Structures are given as structure tokens and as C-alpha cells.
């Protein structure tokens, strides 16, 4: 098959344009994601700086924060408890069985801390709250923005950041940490009770508690704290930015919610991986 020089040049030019378009598209996507991350970091920094100053905690801000903690951290506590019970039964029983089979019963404590406390607890709770509360957060703020209530609040002398953003960001972070602790305790307790009931583990509660507590190190506490709070800060800041960043059409709200949830989930796993590397390597 013969190709003329003109056709070869034309085809080369076409591939060159397609390559440039692909590179430009990837660069634009990366730039947009970087802008979103940079904006979320700015929101987190502003929230922490503002929250540390008591004069910004007016009655309306305190009330909004209490409502967020109630909605995010208290209402789903039964769901978290049931989830923790099932996870505890699955994980603790399996670890107890295989540690006993391998003759490494003394490793049960470190294994439980590694699997349940270090990894599963913070990640699962963040996922639950991102899906449950992050989507609600973005939708609520998007509706408030489109309906003009945000502008009305500012026209009346109110600060939208203090009344809408700061309570949500802090509420999600505090709720995530508290629910993570509850999840870990319920998972360990349910796993111990089920293992003792089925005869697959020791029935000595003090021995079980001593094994687990002896495996907890200061860096494990820092790990749980960081993996609980940092992804929650990022998720709440992304969801607030996504909700308040919608235009004038209500059809933009589902798109903004989807983008915010995607960023939050990706950020969760990236932050968790980075925290693990910094803590244990």
C-alpha cells in the first residue's frame, strides 16, 4: 500500500493535534483538581483560625455547630454500632482463629489494633459520613445559594462563613473522631463476646483487654486521630465549596454533589495512605 507524502503529512498532523488536545485536556483536569484542593485547604485553614478565636463564636454559630454535631454524629450512632458489631465479629473471630492455628496467640493484640483501630475504623466511618452527610451538606448549601438565602443572610449583616461553613466543617470533624472511637470499642467488644460465646477465643475479658491495650502505642493514637480528622476536614471543606460554588441552575447541584463526593473519597484514601507512611515508616 502506497501513501503519498501529502497524506502522510496530513495524518501526522492529525495525530499531533489529537495528542496536543489530550495533553491539554489532562492538564486542564489536573489544574482544576489542584484548584479545588487548594481552595479546600484555604477553607480548612480559615476555619481553624476562626474557630480558635472566641469572639467569632456567637450564639448563632454555637447553635449551628450543635445542630451539625447532632445530625452528623448523634443520629447515625445506632447504624455505626450495628456496623461495628458485624465488622468486629468478622474480623476478631477470624484473627482469633488464625492466630490460634498458627500458634501466635500473643500476636492477637497487635493484629486487632492494626486491622480494626488503625485502618478499618477511621476509613469506614469517614466513608459512611462522606456518603451520608457530605451529599446532604453539598445539596443544602447549593439550594441555599440558588434560592438567594445566602445573599439574604449577608445582606442582613450575617457572615455566611461563620453560620454555614465553619459549623459544618467542625461538626463533621468532631463527629468523625467520636464515631471512630465508638466504632473501635464496639467492634472489639462484639468480637470478643462472639468469640467467647462460640468457644473460638478466650473468655477472660481482662486478658483480652490487656492484650489489646498492650499493643496500642502513642503513634497508634496519633494515627487514629489524624486518619479520623484530616479526611473529615477535607471532605467537609470540599462539600461546602461545591455547594456554595453552584451557579443559578438547580440542575448543577447533583453534578456539584458528585464531584464533591468523588474528591472526598479520593482524598480519604490518599490522606490515609500518607498518614500511614509518615507514622509507621
Higher pLDDT: 72 or 104? It is 72
pTM higher than 0.95: no
Distance between CA atoms of residues 41 and 45, nearest Å: 6
Distance between CA atoms of residues 11 and 69, nearest Å: 61
Distance between CA atoms of residues 104 and 211, nearest Å: 13
User: Cell match 481482662: residue?
Assistant: 206
DSSP annotation of 119 reads I
Q: What is the pLDDT of residue 266?
A: 92
Q: Which long-range contacts (CB under 8 A, 24 or more apart) does 25-31 make?
A: none
Angle between helical axes of 218-244 and 121-129 (0-180°, round to 10): 10
Question: Per mean pLDDT, which range of 24-28, 83-87, 271-275 is the poorest?
Answer: 24-28
- Is the pLDDT at 101 greater than 60? The verdict is no
C-alpha 204, offset from chain centre: 35
The pLDDT of 160-174, averaged and rounded, is: 92
Q: What is the pLDDT of residue 67?
A: 93
> Burial level of 108, CB count in 10 A (0-12/13-18/19+)?
buried
Q: Please name which of 223, 7, 195, 207 lies closest in space to residue 113, comparing C-alpha atoms.
A: 223
Grid coordinates in use for 201? 477465643
Distance between CA atoms of residues 228 and 113, nearest Å: 15
Q: Please name which of 124, 220, 234 lies closest in space to residue 173, comparing C-alpha atoms.
A: 234
The pLDDT of 252-263, averaged and rounded, is: 90
3-state helix vs strand vs coil in the chain, percent to 5: 90, 0, 10
Question: Per mean pLDDT, which range of 177-181, 251-255, 271-275 is the poorest?
Answer: 251-255
Q: Please name which of 38, 101, 88 lies closest in space to residue 188, comparing C-alpha atoms.
A: 88
Distance between CA atoms of residues 131 and 71, nearest Å: 14
Amino acid at each position: 500500500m502506497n501513501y503519498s507524502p501529502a497524506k502522510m503529512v496530513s495524518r501526522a498532523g492529525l495525530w499531533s493535534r489529537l495528542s496536543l488536545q489530550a495533553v491539554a485536556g489532562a492538564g486542564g483536569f489536573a489544574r482544576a483538581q489542584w484548584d479545588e484542593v487548594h481552595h479546600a485547604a484555604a477553607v480548612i485553614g480559615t476555619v481553624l483560625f476562626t474557630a480558635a478565636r472566641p469572639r467569632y463564636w456567637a450564639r448563632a454559630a454555637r447553635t449551628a455547630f450543635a445542630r451539625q454535631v447532632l445530625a452528623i454524629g448523634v443520629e447515625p450512632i445506632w447504624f455505626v454500632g450495628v456496623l461495628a458489631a458485624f465488622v468486629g465479629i468478622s474480623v476478631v473471630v477470624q484473627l482469633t482463629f488464625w492466630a490460634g492455628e498458627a500458634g501466635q496467640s500473643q500476636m492477637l493484640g497487635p493484629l486487632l489494633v492494626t486491622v480494626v483501630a488503625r485502618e478499618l475504623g477511621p476509613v469506614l466511618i469517614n466513608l459512611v459520613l462522606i456518603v451520608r452527610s457530605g451529599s446532604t451538606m453539598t445539596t443544602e448549601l447549593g439550594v441555599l445559594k440558588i434560592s438567594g438565602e445566602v445573599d439574604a443572610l449577608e445582606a442582613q449583616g450575617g457572615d455566611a462563613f461563620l453560620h454555614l461553613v465553619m459549623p459544618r466543617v467542625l461538626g463533621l470533624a468532631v463527629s468523625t473522631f467520636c464515631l471512630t472511637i465508638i466504632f473501635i470499642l464496639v467492634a472489639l467488644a462484639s468480637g470478643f463476646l462472639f468469640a467467647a460465646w462460640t468457644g473460638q477465643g478466650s473468655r477472660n475479658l481482662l486478658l483480652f483487654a490487656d492484650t489489646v491495650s498492650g499493643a496500642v502505642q502513642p503513634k497508634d493514637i496519633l494515627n487514629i486521630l489524624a486518619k479520623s480528622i484530616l479526611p473529615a476536614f477535607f471532605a467537609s471543606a470540599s462539600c461546602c465549596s461545591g455547594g456554595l460554588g453552584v451557579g443559578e441552575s438547580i440542575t448543577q447541584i447533583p453534578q456539584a454533589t458528585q464531584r464533591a463526593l468523588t474528591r472526598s473519597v479520593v482524598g480519604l484514601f490518599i490522606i490515609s495512605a500518607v498518614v500511614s507512611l509518615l507514622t509507621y515508616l
